[in-house]
Amino acid sequence: MEECVFCKIASGELKSEKILESDNFFAIKDINPKTKGHSLVVSKRHYQTLLDMPSSLLGEFLEMGKKLAIKLIDEEKAEGFNLIMNNYEVAGQIVPHVHMHVLPRKKGDVAPGLP
């Protein structure tokens, strides 16, 4: 997808610091973080939503989210985390490329739109 920002990051056309990477996914910091450390797990291949991604990749996708959550809990001294995935525009998906938000959380923090 020539217009997709995540595809451009995956191909190296756009520079972004990858904080974790596997064969099929990478993790980067969110450019508009809701909490300190808010990061994304992004598919290297273009799939619009979770429904488009092959089921064979779901375990690796979730494992990358888990690794990222552990890393962010340690780095941000967080007490918990949110995993959020929006699918389709009506559900809040801004970039039509499969990705999962990992938000480290601390007691009393403020994350707009989240508990």
Alpha-carbon gap, residue 101 to 21, rounded angstroms:
15
Structure tokens at 40: 């994304």
Q: Is 29 helix (H, G, I), strand (E, B) or coil?
A: strand
Amino acid at 74: D
Q: Is 46 a catalytic residue?
A: no
Catalytic member of 38, 46, 97, 99: 99
Q: Compute, in degrees rounded to 10, the torsion defined by CA atoms 71, 75, 81, 86.
A: -70
Task: Kindly tell me the burial class for residue 97, based on how many C-beta atoms sit within 10 Å of its own C-beta (0-12, 13-18, 19 or more).
Answer: buried
**Residues assigned a catalytic role:** 99
